[in-house]
């Protein structure tokens, strides 16, 4: 995930877009884009455990700092790479239209 880190705001807030749902199938967790009420099963995104935690947090609008702090607590990780990884993941979701700035 390293290498794409960029954020234009100091502490942006994010929320889930209405255009995706989380589903668990056979032990895997997926984000499924939904267009006009229909699941786009050709565009499934697998979530690792940390990504799933971030997605679950976004049920309510959260700031980048809140998300990073929660991930640090859950994983025991410290350092700038947590923020970098969170930013990269959120940027990817935003580019896909799965999250939006709150």
Q: How far is 101 from 72, CA to CA, in rounded Å?
A: 22
Q: What would the pLDDT profile of 42-97 be if each residue is shown by its tens digit?
A: 889 999 999 999 999 999 999 999 999 999 999 999 888 999 999 999 999 999 99
Token pair 């929660």: residue: 70
Read off the pLDDT band of 5 (50, 70, 90). very low
What does the pLDDT read at residue 7?
A: 53
Asked if 97 and 17 touch (Cβ cutoff 8 Å), the reply is yes
pTM of the model: 0.86
Q: How far is 70 from 15, CA to CA, in rounded Å?
A: 15
What does the pLDDT read at residue 39?
A: 86
Asked if 64 and 83 touch (Cβ cutoff 8 Å), the reply is yes
């Amino acid at each position: 995930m390293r290498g794409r880190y960029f954020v234009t705001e100091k502490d942006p807030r994010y929320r889930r877009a209405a255009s995706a749902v989380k589903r668990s199938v056979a032990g895997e967790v997926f984000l499924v884009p939904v267009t006009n009420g229909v699941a786009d099963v050709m565009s499934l995104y697998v979530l690792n455990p940390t990504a799933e935690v971030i997605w679950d947090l976004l049920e309510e609008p959260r700031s980048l700092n809140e998300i990073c702090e929660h991930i640090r607590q859950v994983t025991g990780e410290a350092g700038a790479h947590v923020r970098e990884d969170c930013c990269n993941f959120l940027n990817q979701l935003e580019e896909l239209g799965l999250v939006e700035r709150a």
